[in-house]
Structures are given as structure tokens and as C-alpha cells.
Amino acid sequence: MSRPIRVLVAKPGLDGHDRGAKVVAAALRDAGMEVIYTGLHQTPEMIASAAIQEDVDVVGLSILSGAHMTLFPRVHDLLRAEGRDDILVTGGGIIPREDMDALTARGIGRLFGPGTNTGELVDYIREWFGTQRQDA
């Protein structure tokens, strides 16, 4: 029997709006995933450390502050520095299309904007996880 997908949902930086992150966390939990929500005002170092300690498969960042071009790569780089390039870094927020494309080119997973149906995110994570399990 397959184990549940483990997802860490985090709000990096000074952005204090976490309703979307909580909705996503609940949707992932309802889809059968194990979800750890770190809460507000997390540093990239705190997020990467929690992801490694909790042995998650996915880190989902919610960023509305405009700092996405700094925060996504920093979390990704910290995980890679610890040898955890097997963890998917994905997320969403207010991110212009050209920035989404630039982040994807740097190895960040698919990013989601406001109004995205949570089913799209669930499907994306399940498909990614299924591909990872086949490669293992």
C-alpha cells in the first residue's frame, strides 16, 4: 500500500495574509495528503529546515508580497544544499506570468495564481508524486 504524500505549506516573509494557504492546506488534507502548515512569517531557512525534519515530498509556498523571485529560489537552494533536490517546491500567489516562467526555468515546480481550482493543485502534486515513485 502506498504512503500518503507529505506536503509542507508555508508563508514566507512578512506577508500576513494566510487565508489562501489555509484553504490549500485543507484541500490537500481532504485529498488524503499529510499536510504540515508552518504558519505566518517563516524564513526560507525555517521552511527548508522544517521540510527536511518532516521528510516531506512537497513544499508549497504562498507568497502575496511580491518577494517571489527571492523566496522561491532561496528555499529551493537551501533544500538542494542539504541534498534534498527530490523535494518539489511549488506554490502560488500574486506572480506575473513572466516571473512564473523564470522560476520554472530555475527548477521551481508549477505555480498557481489566485482563483485556481484547488483540484488543479491536487492533480499536479499527485501526478508529480506518481512520476517520482516510478523513477525510484
Q: Are 60 and 23 in contact (CB under 8 A)?
A: no
- 82 pLDDT more than 90: yes
Contacts of 135 (CB under 8 A, 6+ apart): none
- 14 pLDDT more than 90: no
| pLDDT the model gives residue 135 | 64
Provide the 10 A C-beta neighbour count for residue 135.
Answer: 7
Predicted TM-score (pTM) of the model is 0.95
Contacts of 35 (CB under 8 A, 6+ apart): 7, 8, 9, 25, 28, 29
| pLDDT the model gives residue 62 | 96
Examine residue 1 and state whether it is found in any structural domain, yes or no.
no
- The total domain count for the chain is 1
pLDDT, tens digit, 9 for 90 and up, residues 66-77:
999 999 999 999
Residue 121 is part of a domain; what is its CATH number? Answer: 3.40.50.280
The number of C-alpha atoms within 13 Å of 1 and in the hemisphere containing its C-beta is 2
Task: For residues 36 and 71, give the distance between their C-alpha atoms in angstroms, rounded to a whole number.
Answer: 19
Average per-residue pLDDT for the chain: 95
Domain hosting 90: range is 6-135
